[in-house]
Amino acid sequence: MIVAEKLLAYPIPEIRQSLRWQDVALYNLSIGLGQDPMDLRQLPFTYEPGLVAMPSMAVVLGYPGFWIKAPDTGVDWVRVVHGEQSLTLHRPLPVSGEVIGTSRVTGLVDRGAGKGALIYSERVIRDAASGEKLATVAMTTFARGDGGFGGPSGPVKPPHPEAEGMPDLVLDLPTRPEQAAYYRLNGDHNPLHIDPEVATKAGFPRPILHGLCTFGVVCHALMKGLCDYDTTRFGTMDLRFSSPVYPGETIRTEIWHRPGGAAFRARVVERDVVVVSNGAFRFA
């Protein structure tokens, strides 16, 4: 069972990570870039001369691993799902060097017995040599099996309002059947995404795509549709995960222009299921 005071002070390991151009190329490939070898706008994301990091790569930098699985967290890790994710980019990501990720639990919400709990956490990523802040990533973990531990009932992060009417822009990006197996090589080794037995225990018919891989695919759509792949224009991206994606499905990102940015959501074409909702994007 979760003990609120203990989890709020949980010592998530600080991570110092060496970054190579191969790591950047692997991440970009793992979210689906490079599927069209003749698309010259995508070539800088996969080819080392002039290599560029997709902004969403920040979510795997300085990553402390699946720390919530440790027995002393008190969390029923098999039943956790990724609820929300945000990313603020303070400067373009490097393609080599060393970065430091410092993570902490920032809040807990007890939704009651049988209703689960929300775990809010944040990670700040800095350049190890200069100390400059590169990115801030924040996430909400929905611990489906951990409600009723006697924790606070709020505050709950308010979602961005959903857009109405027809979108101004629609982009379809396919995922590959083996994409989760590639994506986990970025450091997210949760067996839910590769082991059928673990997926079944968690209530899914087969392994699901990482929520952060879906995040990366949607980031790709936003960069393509709003920024013409200019990563210096990326400011902030925030979304809520509504339903899982199964590897091999096509993610359709629907975009509504807004002053200074955009609202967005995403759905799986094959099942017509919304998988990302309450999305908000801001230009740098």
Residues catalogued as catalytic: 188, 193, 208, 211
Strands (E), the chain: 15-19, 80-89, 97-110, 117-127, 133-143, 169-174, 234-241, 250-258, 261-268, 273-283
Query: Number of helices (H) and strands (E), helices first, in the chain?
Result: 5, 10
In angstroms, the CA 228 to CA 222 distance is: 9
Tokens for 194, please give them.
């590769």
Question: CA-CA distances (angstroms) from residue 281 to 45, 162, 241, 262?
Answer: 21, 13, 15, 5
What does residue 146 show for φ and ψ, rounded to 5 degrees? -125, 15
DSSP 22: H
What three-state secondary structure class fits 218? Answer: helix
